[in-house]
Amino acid sequence: MAGLQIRELHPALGAEIRGLEPTIPLDDDTLRQLREVYNERSVLVFPDLDIDEDFQRYLVFALIGQDPPAEHQEHAARNGPMLVSNREEGGAAPYGRLLFHCDTMWADNPQPLLSLYGLEVGQPSVPTMFVSMVHGWETLPQALKDRVAGLEARHGHEHSYPNRGGDENVIDAYYEDEVSTVMPVARVHPATGKTTLYVSQQVTMNILGLPPEENEELLEELFQHLYAEENILRHDWKTGDLVIWDNQAAQHARGNVNLDGPERTLRKVFGPMKYSGIQTKIPSFSKIGQM
């Protein structure tokens, strides 16, 4: 039997899991428990783990019942692991604040799940924040549900659509080639069948069929609901923390990271890529107005 200690972190999402022995393979009972918690809580936090990249990748794929690939997409743009860091050369998103978003929200088949592992985290750490799009839809006032139920939104990274951060610390991800896709605002999760409120402050550009002013007003109303303070789960990083989350059920954001602040080096491993076109490219990160 798996000796896991599981504690809910927030009413809407998140579970802390202790007692995991990082061995490959994990026993069937442990995997069953982890998959149940993952599907129900969307964000799993494993504090104080001593793991290598191989176990991190194994666990990410095991949560959705797959074997990890022989070739690692994270290594395509660099010789070694993909790092989110304000210290390591070539680290992704090395500075600034990130608005709420889902990675690859611009793709027809968005990234199913993501993970970060704290390799070296100085204190005080800059938190990662999470919100549940499932909870966002379930608690949306009925009048708003009725208004958006049949609408679609366009998501992407196009240089004519700056993000909505409102301050100079906000950064956005840009690709050399502009990319976008259209999804229902009330998107059904492909694995769980749950309806999600599928709009984000960073990546959603517009709701189709609305004039610009009405579009921004409606999106802002949805954002005010989705990102209400009581809906946010904060994770304050420590070295040895592993966080894995369902990228199609939960959005993430980040506080402001300074290049000269405490070290914040996280190793990123993601699940299977099903989209095409720019999967081997990594974005550049720029502050608003500095393209």
pLDDT in tens, 37-88: 999 999 999 999 999 999 999 999 999 999 988 877 777 667 789 999 999 9
C-alpha 65/C-alpha 35 separation (Å) is: 9
CATH topology assigned to domain 5-287: Double-stranded beta-helix (3.60.130)
Share of the chain above pLDDT 90, in %: 75
Report d(CA 270, CA 128) in Å as an integer. 16
Cβ contact 246:44 at 8 Å: no
pLDDT of residue 122: 97
- Name the amino acid, one letter, at 135: H
Per-residue confidence band for 164, with pLDDT thresholds at 50, 70 and 90: confident
pLDDT of 165-182, one tens digit each? 767 888 776 666 778 899
The per-residue pLDDT for range 200-243, each reduced to its tens digit, is 999 999 999 999 899 999 999 999 999 999 999 999 999 999 99
Domain ranges of the chain: 5-287
Question: Residue 1's pLDDT is what?
Answer: 41
At 281 the pLDDT is: 52
Distance CA 245, CA 273 (A): 15
Give yes or no for residue 279 having a pLDDT over 60: no
Q: Which amino acid is at 198?
A: Y
The reported pLDDT for the residue numbered 258 is 94
Task: List the structure tokens of 280.
Answer: 């081997």
Strand pairing of 179-184 and 152-157? antiparallel
